Structures are given as structure tokens and as C-alpha cells.
Amino acid sequence: MKELKSYGWYAARISPLLPEEAFKPVPTRLWGGLAYLLITVAGFLIIGLIEPPLWVSLIISVIVGLCFAGLGLLGHEILHGTVVRKAWLRDFLGAIAFWPLTTGPQLWRNWHNMNHHIYTQDEHRDPDAWLSKEQLAKYPLLIVLYKLPLWVRATISFVSLSFSFTLHSARMFFRSLKNFHSNKKPKVWIQFILPWATWISLLFFMGPVKWLLAFLIPLFIGNFIVMSYISTNHRLNPLVTVNDPLANSLTVTVPKWVDFLHFNFSYHTEHHLFPGISPKYYPLVKQHILNMWPERYHQMPLVNAMIALLKTPRIYYEETELVDPNHHHLYGTLGHGLDLDQYKYRVEGEAYLPTGTDIKQRDS
């Protein structure tokens, strides 16, 4: 097993190789957000006022959903301070960008910037890390879920991508509220309530059918796109005791035009090394990583990563394996024997074979 290094260890070696402008905010990124916002407003007006044929409204719903996703991905970038640095403007723009996905800027920075980034894939401290086998006993619903056949679980998991960001955001609001000082809690509550009040008010203003087309379907699409990235960022990686982005993060590859539309969000290992620089420079960071530590770096096409998620369980066993708790099948993680060709496993309790592979292989 390779020795784990902290993100600071890597960053200290790459930082001198980056241009000075890489560490400055890039406000021109807001033009993309403005385009998404204008298209969204136009879609609402067309569906709400013009009442086009259903098939046209459905096409508009898809386009608005793509805009919801793009705004959310830009909101993530804005709230890391890489677009503008003034705190009030950062939070204002971040709030607008995250409005469709109903996430407030104060909550996001506490949950994501101050906890997920600092404690990535720490079993006990990362709010986004999946459970270990020991923790599973606290979640009876998951125990029942894992008694279902793999294809049923995979289907449920795939469908849940269409709402799990918004659902997890609401869960993190109530979980994180205790982290805020009493004088800041009213602002956090307002940032949580206002987006929901907006979208519920829109339901009464537009009526249920138009609201479904203008907001709910786009919300599902936006969630699905955002969660397609988020779910592949870390869930194939092991749990770690040291925040090593080359061990606990995965960069997915997508066509260049998708990277353009999604603000280079696919470069996730790079983001965890340098959350404070604009994703505009992440391709350059990637090249330096590949030059220095190619054997540590994990990347794969987004579609392949999604397939791997559907073919493996999400419960961790002793940090470096994934376990199906009902059948006691153990799958590797990235860097620890994950078989991306046939998804073979070993049975819990069986010893490793002294071969060149990481796991005793069985047909799954």
C-alpha cells in the first residue's frame, strides 16, 4: 500500500509550477452563469405564459434542467471564492446559483468547504462519506435495502440520483444547524426557507401542470446531472485516515464540450488539491500530477464510473473494501483491487491469495 500524503504535501510541490494568475479569481466565469439564468427565466415565461404544445414544453423542461445543473456547478465554484473574493458578493451570487437546487450559501460553505474538503473520506468526520459496516446497524432501512437483489438496488440507486442532492442538502441543513453561532442561525434559516418558498409559491401561481414542467422535471434533471458527478467523486475510493486526494478522489473524463458547459467540474482530484484556484486551470494541475505521480492518480470516463457504482455495494469494510452485508461479498476500491472488467469479489472471511492480484477473484 502506498503511503498516504496530505493535500498540502502535493500542493506544495505543484504550486511553484503554476502561473501567478491561477491563484486569482476569474469573474468572467459569471458569463456562463448569466446565460444559464436567462435561459431558465425564458423557459419559465414560455411555459407559464405562452403555453406551448406539451412536446415543446418537455423540451424546454430538459433545457431548464440542464441550466439548473450548470448553475449548481457554478455555485460550487463561486462559494469556493475562485470567481469573486468579496464575501457578500460571493454569497449573493452563490445563493442565486444554488437557488434551483434549494441550498443556501452559508450551509454549503460549512458542510462542503469546512467539513467535506478538510475531512474527505474520513469515516467519522466527512458528512458525504458512505457508511462502514459497523455504522450500518444504525440504519434499519439500509439493512432492508441490502436484502434486495443487486439489480433492484442498482435501479433504486440510479433513480435516486434525480433527487438525492436536494434531499441530502435538506438533511445537512438540520444536521449542520448546530455548527452555527446563534446570531448566524436566522440567516441560515432564511437561506434555507426562501428557495423553497419561491418554488412552492410558483406552484400556486402557475398551477400543478405548468409547475411540473417548469420546475419539478428540471429539478430532477439538475439533481441527476450534479449527482452523476458527486456520486463518482469519492464513492469508488477507500476511506482514509489522511486526507490524500490522490487516494480518496476520482477525476472523471467527459467530452471537452461537456467540461465547457460544466465549468471543468470533472477534474475532482485537482479540485481537492487546489479548491481555492479556478477550475479553468485544473487541466494544467492534472498534467503536473501525471508527470509526478502517475501511479497514484485515478481517472476514468464518467460512464464507466457510473457503471462501477451500480455494480458494487456502497458499504465500506475495513476502509479499503466495499461489502454486500447480506451476501458478505467484498469488492475492492480504487487502488485496492477494484476489478473494473468483471467486478469479481471475495467472500468475507476468506484469506487473500498470494498472487499478483489484490483480491481472490470470483464471478459476481
Confidence of residue 363 (pLDDT cuts 50, 70, 90): very low
pLDDT of residue 223: 98
Close Cβ partners of 132 (under 8 Å, ≥ 6 residues apart) = 123, 239, 315, 316, 317, 319
Q: How many CA atoms lie within 13 A of 215 on its CB side?
A: 21
pLDDT digits (tens, 9 = 90+) for 12-30: 999 999 999 999 999 999 9
pLDDT digits (tens, 9 = 90+) for 248-268: 999 999 999 999 999 999 999
> Cβ of 2: how many Cβ atoms within 10 Å?
11
- Give how far Cα 70 sits from Cα of 60, 65, 180, 212, Å: 15, 9, 29, 20
- Does the pTM surpass 0.85? The reply is yes
Q: Which residues lie across from 253 on neighbouring strands?
A: 301
If one compares 358 and 332, the residue with the highest pLDDT of the two is 332
- Give how far Cα 90 sits from Cα of 71, 79, 184, 260, 323, Å: 14, 6, 17, 22, 41
- Give how far Cα 338 sits from Cα of 230, 237, 298, 330, 346, Å: 19, 9, 12, 10, 11
Domain locations in the chain? 7-302
pLDDT digits (tens, 9 = 90+) for 70-99: 999 999 999 999 999 999 999 999 999 999
pLDDT digits (tens, 9 = 90+) for 126-136: 999 999 999 99
Quote the mean pLDDT of the chain. Answer: 93
DSSP 216: I
